[in-house]
Amino acid sequence: MPVAFDLHEASWHGRLESLLSQGQAAGADLVELFIERTDNLGVLAEQDTITNVSPAFGMGAGLRVFLGHRDGFVSTNDLSDAGLLAALDQALAMLGLQRSVQSLSHFNGLPALRDFASEKRDWLAQSPTLAETTEALLRGTDQLQRHGQHLQSRRGSYARNWQAVLVAASDGTFAHDIRLHQTLGLNLLAADGEHRASVGRRYGTTDRPDDLRHWDAEAAALDLCQSAGSMLYADYVEAGQFPVVLANRFGGVIFHEACGHLLETTQVERGTTPFADQVQQPIAHEAVTAIDEGLTGGAFGSIAMDDEGMASQRTVLIENGVLKRFLSDRAGELRTGHPRTGSGRRQNHAFAAASRMRNTFIAAGPHSPEQLIASIDHGLYCKSMGGGSVGPTGQFNFAVEEGYRIENGQLSSPVKGATLIGEAKEVMPRISMCANDLELAAGFCGSVSGSIFVTVGQPHIKVDSITVGGR
């Protein structure tokens, strides 16, 4: 099977070296080129019918030029010599620079290619066929019908995203990778008179072509239908200030949204994080250790290298409540001084890379989930989280998709309509207990460099006090 971009052909190496050399000769401190090729597929099933099939193919380049603390970025779908030179000229012009045949470059050439894709070249061919995909989705919606009650709608969705990337920069970066992400979701709406429940689950992995073939549609449907059955006739929660236990897996979305973004250097650059000057200072309860990494096999946010060609790594953000590091990309290191962490990510070639999360989670603690619940006389158990919103400095509100009252240390009746409201710098010191059941969940994250694949996660955690919105 041909290598993406025909990297083994000497012509690419020479073309890239010429482009980078001309950019540095024009006076740029650094020139970086990101090239990608994509092959994506989306499939939607509604009730018992496939209603949409959306293939998409793409190729393009993003070119970035740095001068001092400034940069210029241009994207293009024209990968010819003329097209790439035109992009370079535009990026240089943003910084007041211009190419000149008389100027000399101090660029020393590219090293040997660092190829992270050597064992991934047949992943696209190994991925499920359209026939396999449609069969799996219809099996999923059929299982919802078999196990659910009072169902008004059933939906299943699948997406496959295959991407080959090449990164070359005048600092000697020269790296290639292939990525494969697959995600599958089930959603249902149940209604009986005035009672309604809407529940959804999403499953996602990376770098595992066979995963859809091993999906247990019946188990997934049973989980969803049980949640909907619990919530359909649930009472509405009363508003107030309560202790709360957040379940593992997707419960970690609150830490990701409310705190994780504040630990990216993009927020330091903007002056919007309250933690900018608090490295080596406590910002959370001593029970909290938080990690961001791109190394866990199969996890949705794992990457062999970031979109600036740096190998992935494990970054401890918070250790025993103390802020240790920020997530940083090339521009973040340049402008804030925080060292790069392999976190420069982008949706595609149309975006400049920025510091972004990968697999972000609160680490496991010493307790059992039952111990967390038993420590509360009157509170709320949040088994599943829904959507929400986050302000620029960490203010958040998140809907609880499936919740239960905690009474005298025991779970009692289901409740719906709950919303968790708070601010990161106030809530983090109140996470006083972490259980021993860490799990991860796939998700998508939108920010300045587009929508990317991420993993959120945590064990069960106890928040001593948080505002619960309700009726």
Using the 3D structure, point to which of 232, 247, 265 is the last residue of a domain: 232
Same domain for 65 and 23: yes
Same structural domain, 217 and 240? no
Pair 251, 132 in one domain: no
pLDDT digits 0-9 by tens, 250-269: 999 999 998 999 999 999 99
Q: Do 188 and 118 share a structural domain? A: yes
pLDDT digits (tens, 9 = 90+) for 165-203: 999 999 999 999 999 999 999 999 999 999 999 999 999
C-alpha separations of 412 from 230, 277, 295, 380, 415 in Å: 12, 43, 39, 10, 9
d(CA 28, CA 12): 22
Instruction: Using the 3D structure, point to which of 232, 257, 273 is the last residue of a domain.
Output: 232
The model's pTM: 0.94
**What's the CA gap between 454 and 303, in Å, rounded?**
10
Domains in the chain, number: 2
Residues 199, 276, single domain; the answer is no
Rounded average pLDDT over 106-117: 91
Specify the pLDDT at position 107: 86
Query: Is the domain of 198 the same as that of 328?
Result: no
Range of the domain at 88: 4-232
Judgement on whether residues 281 and 190 belong to the same structural domain of the protein: no
Whether residue 296 sits in one domain with residue 379: yes
- Show which of 232, 262, 283 is a domain's final residue: 232
Task: Give yes or no: residues 403 and 464 share one domain.
Answer: yes
pLDDT digits (tens, 9 = 90+) for 7-64: 444 567 889 999 999 999 999 999 999 999 999 999 999 999 999 999 999 999 999 9
One domain for residues 218 and 192? yes
Percent over 70 (pLDDT), the chain: 97
Q: What is the rounded average pLDDT of the residues 330-343?
A: 97
Q: Same structural domain for residues 271 and 401?
A: yes
Q: Are residues 320 and 427 in the same domain?
A: yes
Question: What b/e sequence results for 260-269 when a residue is b if at least 16 CB atoms lie within 10 Å of its CB, and e otherwise?
Answer: bbbbbbbbbb
The confidence score (pLDDT) of residue 470 equals 87
